[in-house]
Structure 1
Amino acid sequence: MADVQIPATDHPSFTTPETGLTSAQVRERMDAGRTNAVEEHTSRTVGEIVRANVLTRFNAMLGAIAVAVLATGRLGDMMFALVLVLNSAIGIVQEVRAKRTLDRLALLHAPTATVIRDGEMGEIPIAEVVIDDLIELTTGDQVPADGHLRISEGVEIDESNLTGESDPVSKSVGDEVMSGTAVVAGKGYFQARAVGEDAYARRIASEVKVFKRAHSEIEHGINTLLRYITWVIVAITPFLLWGQFRSLEDGQNWQDAVTGTAAALVGMVPEGLVLLTSLSFGLAALALTRRQVLVQELPAVEGLARVDVVCLDKTGTLTDGNIAFDELFPVDGCDPDEVTKALGSMAHQTTPNASLAAIGEAFAAADGWHKAGEVPFSSARKWSAMSFRGEESWYLGAPDMLLADDDPLRGRVAELAAEGRRVLLFQRSGQDLDGDGLPDDRRSMALVALGENVRPDAAETLRYFAEQDVTIKVISGDNPTTVAAIGRKLGLDVGEPVDANTIGSEPEDLAEVVETTTIFGRVSPQQKRAMVRALQANGHTVAMTGDGVNDAMALKDADIGVAMGNAAQATKAASQLVLLDGRFARLPNVLGEGRRVIGNIERVASFFVAKNTYSLLLAVCVTVAGMTYPFLPRHLTLISGVTIGIPAFFLALGPNPARYRPGFLRRVLMFSVPAGAVTGVAIFASYLTARAEDLEVDQARTMATAAALVVALWILVVLSRPFKPWKGLLVGVMIAMAVLAFVVPFVSKGFELDTDASALPFALAIGVAGAIGVELIYRWVERAKFAPPRERRRHLPTS
């Protein structure tokens, strides 16, 4: 038999006998599906991750071109297809890696429950709990289902995971307990009345199942380019193909027309930019993982750098959720040393609740103070007591239960409570303990102030965000006065805290108050979500941090959701970033990586868009002129590799602490489109000159390649500014590689370069003219980009 007696009761919810369910009743409920088993997702499935990274516009465009080249049998011209494979692989590997990390964490922390069945107690996985089970609760247990208490021996529940309220809630017989909460004191038994998907925590979690990918301005800009490029390719391909067939010369066949068309189309697709963006995100995610930050979606690396408002949940973010001793206030005329001895001895000679445990960490047990008797804490009377051999009896509890109505000490209690502190009163009596009775000779000895344990790195992190012009909003389910006190301790300008019970719960109701208020208390999960939406409607980019199920909906709707490492699975699944060690101080690392990625991708994006521009211009020119395309795919591989691919890779990984500025695509287009147009004119001029001189098509293509390399290398020069030694070395190596491609016989043969072309110096001269044009464009753009608006319109020169 179970070594516990569950009393009989007339409570309508208590239908299970004191011996628990029988095996037959358990099987019946399992067959009916009334169990605690739920489909728990830590993130997207592997299939969903693969589909999201493979079925993209970019892959469709490049894949179609690759199939066309494959049909010609010229596999040497298919090297561009490697970008397609690598780009998909980077995204898949990172997201699957993040998923497996969360899966391992979920398995490591899989909880169990102790139930009474057939009169015996046993431990089972929480997924096997069924409706009407009798379940034991002890300190440290997670409540596995919703139900009502049948026995309560001082049970206190931490419901902050659901409500955000950090104060433990005392529970009596008949009170409701909810899944997702935790027992912080006492012992009890409850009967499950809602399990699985019907439980409260699961109902909240079900609202965040729909996956929402983090917004990325870089991805959005690239996708915008791809969308326009797709329309251009669809429109121009028939004319380009027709032009290539029309311009076929003796000895050429349909394969030449198809590969010429493919070369033109590949040049229009920014395949290197897409790959480099994925690679930059992936490497940043890897660096953050080493700092205990798990990136579930690659764009989230960039996302935090764009954020201008961070919404924080107090419990679990600014504080670690544990109660801590704050300060002792001895009453006038009392011996502080005696008070500390009594407090320490009381805390160390009992099974402490959360408050006594915090006191025990502050005060040691005194020598010679041996317990003679005890009255354990009760949620009904709100105090506990202990007597010591040779000493008097001591009482610790809520001041409103131990103080007379007219006691002047109530004023001091009110003052401390207004500062957000939790206050206990410590009294002594010369009489022996008498159960629930309070002796009349009690004398107040001290007020004990408790608070939440503030994370040691929280203040520094908040200062960092303030320096970066990021606004902080603390949104908590706790008392607003308590939240404000924590914020004040951390150096926040808390202003006037707002009790969310006094405001609405729709985004339109909150539009004004979310702008003017820093501290919000007693916020419901629905209001947290509405506040995030209200801030977004006001034009802000919002990050939300949290660890409770009550935070999951807000995290899902935020631009960037950040979950703590100990967060509920539903909360982690709704977030883009997980702080594995739960340290809020990790966020500046994410912001730094995001800035580096944004700044460097903006720099190197100009390489690729310039190439797309001159490729499109060349496609139009050769189609109108009825000429063969000036490059083979392998020529473009050389040009792209030396002037874009290799240097862009190193430039994308360099340090870049510049702050984020909106307008990524506009700034890229300001330089790259005119620079690409100048490059295209230089290439076509070289090619046209060679054809006018009746040079062979291979010689003409060599001239075009030489001109392209000169202009594109100068684009590399201007985009590498300001120069540092490693950048100078990089440019020098790229120039050397371009020269070697022409002077090393087997290399030039592999790229089909005819180095005997007599007009090659003329092509180089055209390239130099193009480089001068690029330099002039760069200087104009730099003046226009950084001048104040009025000066920008007038194009005034800078000093």
Structure 2
Amino acid sequence: LEGRYEPKQYEAIDEIRFSSERKFSAAKIVIDGKVHIYYMGALSSLGPHMGDTSRIEELVSNYSSKGLRTVLFAESVSDVELESDSDIPELRPLAVFAIEDEVRPDCRETIDVFLKNNMDLKVISGDDPATVDALFTIANIPGERKIVSGDRLAELGSKRQEASDRLASVKSGVADGKTTPELEAVQEEFRQADKEYVDCILETNIFGRMKPDQKEEVIDTLRANGRYVTMVGDGVNDVKSLKKANVSVALESGSGAARGVADMVLVKDNFSALPKALVEGKRTVSGMRNILKIYISRNLVLAILIAMSLIFLNRAPFNPMQNMYYSLFAVGLSAFFMSFWAKPSDNSELVLPKVLRYALPTAFTISIFGLLIMAVFDYLMLEGIFTFDGYDQYGVEQAASGLVVLFLTFCGIFQLLVVDPHFRIFSIDGEVHKDWKPLALMVLLSVTSLLVYNLDASCTLMSIPAIPFWLQLSMIGLAIVWLFVQHITLKWNKFTFMEDALESWYLKFLNKNLQKENERFKESHSS
């Protein structure tokens, strides 16, 4: 208009803004004193209001097969009032616009990461399903594609709703707890309609010509059937769907409303960040699992040793400063560095049962060794079988505590060989990691902890009397013996009953919570 007419020759006097619900927009414009009403939108919305559309349908089909989005431009043949809820008048087609979407170069690589991790990919679009299907072909995305349109999904939804209404009507005429042939027939009809609707959503991976409320229905149905859903959207019409997903992702270029409700925002609309986030999540879980093995083992050792030594020896196994030394070298420094070099893994097993399968036998064997060291050292010293100058009864107890702390510390350090195995001999499941950093850290911690242990200031701080170096080396030797005992214990199938029992309880607990969440979603979906 601006290129053909002067500003005073035309005037826009009314409009209907585009919405995903109606899938068209309209404008009433006065040009040279004559009223024109133009419509622009999808063929599915405007086509029924035209005459013969065979040529237009051929054009749209041809463009769609090439992955091009299409918009129909038409003019009303009569002067009507423009209202958002008014009927579309008879239209005369003027043009079909084809819009090309750019397929990102990293599209195939990004989607491959999701598919390799057994994730279902579903595209919910307002565009023609054939266009989305063609884009998949252009991007060379593998896998079988099952396509459904919003109209077909609406038909299935209406069929289910009608069956639900009939079921409610029949139930209202039947006493509670009673059944009739009619009620059974209607119940079966509803089950079939519900199954057809749900199966359509679960099995379809390309949804086209979808309205905003249908996007919500898809998310609700997926979650109600136990799926963990991530939704990516950018428009205002995606906000409700984003809020209903387990994880919501918005684009930086998207609407402020979408960014406001999203859990993640893709800076520069970079979709390749999603696989990186997935890999980082797997790396985090792997690192957390290995750190928990050492951390929970330490906590269980402290609990068992303190309880047993108070019961049988009538004293604490060590003082707080000795515990700090043990925690620093056996857990703190190891966990700090392990968080940096953790590698992503499949993580198909539950974390907690796997951790406790390792921690319980490990803590049990360490505690037995520790109690034996304290008991044997006390007995030998107090019976005078061998003595050290300057050791009174208190000194004997402190020396025993010091030896136990040294043994515990090296047990914690040596666990790096098992938790992140570099050698197959120490691997429980046969897997080994070629990374040399855990091995180097073990050597560094061993040397450093021994040096710190023999500093006068450290001995004073921890209240440890001077312990002969050969006795310190014997504790390291016992830690090596324990390492092989632990390895045998972990591979001994007699302990798997604990993991199985815990995993069974944990799965029941998770399933119970998941069922409650799904029931809430079903209630909200049905309402």
Shorter-chain TM-score bucket reads 0.5 to 0.7
Q: 1:171, 1:379 within 8 Å by CA — same for their partners in 2?
A: no
Structure-2 change in CA distance of 1:635 and 1:569 (3 Å): farther
Residues 24-59 of structure 1: CA deviation (Å, up to 9, x unaligned): xxxxxxxxxxxxxxxxxxxxxxxxxxxxxxxxxxxx
Task: Quote the residue 2:466 is aligned against.
Answer: 755
Which of 520, 537, 541 is 2:228 aligned to? Answer: 541
1:325-724 alignment runs, 5 A limit = 380-381=37-38, 409-410=55-56, 412-413=58-59, 415-416=61-62, 419=65, 421-422=69-70, 449-492=98-141, 493-499=144-150, 500-504=153-157, 510-625=197-312, 627-692=314-379, 693-694=381-382, 695-696=393-394, 697-721=397-421, 722-724=433-435
Task: Quote the residue 2:507 is aligned against.
Answer: none
1:767 aligns with 2:503: no
Structure-2 change in CA distance of 1:780 and 1:536 (3 Å): farther
* SS at 1:511 equivalent: helix
- The alpha carbon displacement at 1:768 in A equals 3.6
Identity of aligned residues (%): 21
* SS at 1:449 equivalent: strand
TM-score by length of 1: 0.44
1:30-41 alignment runs, 5 A limit = none
Structure-2 change in CA distance of 1:583 and 1:677 (3 Å): same
Report which stretch shifted further, 659-668 or 767-776: 767-776
Task: Quote the residue 1:65 is aligned against.
Answer: none
- The alpha carbon displacement at 1:421 in A equals 4.0
Structure-2 change in CA distance of 1:662 and 1:538 (3 Å): farther
Rounded Cα–Cα distance in structure 2 between residues aligned with 1:703 and 1:653: 32
Q: In the alignment, residue 227 of structure 2 is paired with which amino acid? A: H
Residues 652-708 of structure 1: CA deviation (Å, up to 9, x unaligned): 211513223131111111111101111111112212223333453321210211221
- The alpha carbon displacement at 1:551 in A equals 2.2
Residues 253-312 of structure 1: CA deviation (Å, up to 9, x unaligned): xxxxxxxxxxxxxxxxxxxxxxxxxxxxxxxxxxxxxxxxxxxxxxxxxxxxxxxxxxxx
Q: 1:546, 1:562 within 8 Å by CA — same for their partners in 2?
A: yes
Rounded Cα–Cα distance in structure 1 between residues aligned with 2:18 and 2:272: 25
Residues 539-566 of structure 1: CA deviation (Å, up to 9, x unaligned): 3322111122332233233222111113
Q: 1:555, 1:574 within 8 Å by CA — same for their partners in 2?
A: yes
Q: In the alignment, residue 26 of structure 2 is paired with which amino acid? A: K
- The alpha carbon displacement at 1:728 in A equals 2.1
Q: In the alignment, residue 487 of structure 2 is paired with which amino acid? A: E
User: C-alpha root-mean-square deviation of aligned residues, in Å?
Assistant: 4.1
Rounded Cα–Cα distance in structure 1 between residues aligned with 2:103 and 2:257: 25
Structure-2 change in CA distance of 1:604 and 1:172 (3 Å): same
Q: In the alignment, residue 480 of structure 1 is paired with which amino acid? A: P
* SS at 2:258 equivalent: helix
- The alpha carbon displacement at 1:580 in A equals 2.1
1:740 aligns with 2:397: no
Rounded Cα–Cα distance in structure 1 between residues aligned with 2:218 and 2:94: 45
Q: 2:234, 2:255 within 8 Å by CA — same for their partners in 1?
A: yes
* SS at 2:145 equivalent: coil
Q: In the alignment, residue 70 of structure 2 is paired with which amino acid? A: R
Q: 1:643, 1:716 within 8 Å by CA — same for their partners in 2?
A: no
Structure-2 change in CA distance of 1:555 and 1:753 (3 Å): farther
Residues 161-194 of structure 1: CA deviation (Å, up to 9, x unaligned): xx5x8x6x32346xxxxxxxxxxxx9x9xxxxxx
Task: Quote the residue 2:437 is aligned against.
Answer: 726
Q: In the alignment, residue 736 of structure 1 is paired with which amino acid? A: V
1:171 aligns with 2:29: no
Residues 480-531 of structure 1: CA deviation (Å, up to 9, x unaligned): 3444343443344432323232233999665322221001234344433332
Rounded Cα–Cα distance in structure 2 between residues aligned with 1:455 and 1:764: 58
* SS at 1:539 equivalent: coil
TM-score by length of 2: 0.65
Structure-2 change in CA distance of 1:564 and 1:411 (3 Å): closer
Rounded Cα–Cα distance in structure 1 between residues aligned with 2:221 and 2:51: 45
Task: Quote the residue 2:501 is aligned against.
Answer: none
Q: In the alignment, residue 380 of structure 1 is paired with which amino acid? A: I
Structure-2 change in CA distance of 1:450 and 1:555 (3 Å): closer
Structure-2 change in CA distance of 1:540 and 1:779 (3 Å): same
Q: 1:543, 1:560 within 8 Å by CA — same for their partners in 2?
A: yes
Q: In the alignment, residue 710 of structure 1 is paired with which amino acid? A: F
Q: 1:679, 1:712 within 8 Å by CA — same for their partners in 2?
A: no
- The alpha carbon displacement at 1:574 in A equals 2.6
Structure-2 change in CA distance of 1:379 and 1:725 (3 Å): farther
Rounded Cα–Cα distance in structure 2 between residues aligned with 1:406 and 1:635: 90
Q: 2:234, 2:250 within 8 Å by CA — same for their partners in 1?
A: yes
- The alpha carbon displacement at 1:425 in A equals 9.1
1:101-120 alignment runs, 5 A limit = none
- The alpha carbon displacement at 1:766 in A equals 4.1
Rounded Cα–Cα distance in structure 1 between residues aligned with 2:231 and 2:73: 38
Rounded Cα–Cα distance in structure 1 between residues aligned with 2:98 and 2:35: 20
- The alpha carbon displacement at 1:577 in A equals 1.2
Q: In the alignment, residue 155 of structure 2 is paired with which amino acid? A: T
Q: 2:64, 2:128 within 8 Å by CA — same for their partners in 1?
A: no
* SS at 1:581 equivalent: helix
Q: In the alignment, residue 318 of structure 2 is paired with which amino acid? A: F
Rounded Cα–Cα distance in structure 1 between residues aligned with 2:413 and 2:307: 24
The answer to which structure, 1 or 2, has the higher relative contact order (CA under 8 A, 6+ apart) is: 1
Unaligned runs of 5+ in 2: 1-10, 80-92, 162-193, 383-392, 422-432, 498-527
Q: 1:461, 1:585 within 8 Å by CA — same for their partners in 2?
A: yes
Q: 1:501, 1:523 within 8 Å by CA — same for their partners in 2?
A: no
Aligned residues: 400
Rounded Cα–Cα distance in structure 2 between residues aligned with 1:765 and 1:378: 98
* SS at 1:503 equivalent: helix
Residues 142-162 of structure 1: CA deviation (Å, up to 9, x unaligned): xxxxxxxxx8468674545xx
- The alpha carbon displacement at 1:608 in A equals 0.6
Rounded Cα–Cα distance in structure 2 between residues aligned with 1:154 and 1:417: 31
* SS at 2:37 equivalent: coil
* SS at 1:497 equivalent: strand
Q: Which has the higher helix share?
A: 2
* SS at 1:464 equivalent: helix
* SS at 1:469 equivalent: coil
Q: 1:473, 1:517 within 8 Å by CA — same for their partners in 2?
A: yes
Residues 352-398 of structure 1: CA deviation (Å, up to 9, x unaligned): xxxxxxxxxxxxxxxxxxxxxx99x9982459xxxxxxxxxxxxx99
